[in-house]
A and B are shown apart, each in its own frame.
Chain A
Amino acid sequence: MPRYSMIIDVSKCVGCFACMVACQNQNGLPLGNAFIRFEDRETGRYPKASYSIAPFQCQHCAEAPCVEACPTTASDKDQFGLTQVDPKKCIGCRRCVAACPYNVRIYVAQQGVASACNMCLSLVAENEEPACVSTCLTRARYFGDLDHPQGEFATMLQFAKPIRPEFETKPTLRYIMPKGRVNNG
C-alpha cells in the first residue's frame, strides 16, 4: 500500500494563497473554513531583513493526537496511513481540534463536523495530484509515496524533514526550510 506524502519547500513559497483557495473549492468548504493556513516570519534589520511564509495543513501524523482524542473513531487512519474524518461518525465535539499541535484541524460549523486535509484522495484515485500541489505557482509542493519515491519527489525528499518534530507525532508531511530563514517556532 502506498504511503502518500507531501513535501513543502518553504524556501519557494511566496504566500500567494493559490493552494488554499484551490483546496477550498476542491473540497467544497464553506466560506471562512480552510484546510491550509499560513505562518510567516520576518527576521533581520533593514536593509538586510528577510522573510518567509509557510503553509500548514494536516501533517497526517503516524501517532495522531486527533485520532487518540476522538471519542467515536470518526477520526481514524486509512489504509495509506493518512488521517481521515468520517463526517457521519463525527459528533462535532472538537476534541481533535484542541488536540492537534499543528493547529490544522478545523471545525466546519455549517456541517457541525470536524475536518482537515484528506490528501485529495479522490484526485489521487484519478492519477492526479492533490489540488494544492497541482496549482502551486512556484512548484513548492511535491506529492509522492514515501515508500517508493519517484522523480522530483525522490530528489527533494533527501532535503526534507518533518516540521516541529518536538511534537513527537511522527508527521507524514515533510518540509524544506529556507537557509537562514527558518520558520519552525
Chain B
Amino acid sequence: MTSINLILINWNYIVVILLMMAGLYIIISNQNFIKKLVGLSIFQSSVFIFYISLGKVSGGTAPILTGNDETLYSNPLPHVLILTAIVVGVATNALGLALVVRIQEAFHSIEENKLLALKKFSEQEDRQL
C-alpha cells in the first residue's frame, strides 16, 4: 500500500510531469504551428502547477492575517511568481499567434513540412542570384 500512498501524496507532481512530457511531445511531433503553440501552453501550464503545489502547506490556509499566532499559512510567494509567469506565458502566446497569422499571409501555409520545402526552394533561388 505504500506505493499507492506515494502516488497519492505526490499526485500533483505526477500530473506536472505528465503534462510537461505531453506538452513537449506536442511541440516536437506536430507540424502545425498553432498546435505547437498549444503544446507550449500545456508545457508552461505544467510549470505553473508545479509552483502552486510547492507553495501549499498541508493544513495551511490562505495567507490572510487572522490575528491568531497559531494559524498555519500556505506560502503565497510561489503563487505570486506564477501570476507573473502566467502573464509572460500569455504574452508569448499572443506574439506566437500573431506570427502565425503573418506566416499564413506570407506563405499561405502553417504546416512546417510544407514550409521547409518552400524554404529549401528559396535558398536555391538565393544561390542562383
- Does B bind A? no
Binding site for B on A (CB under 8 A): none
Binding site for A on B (CB under 8 A): none
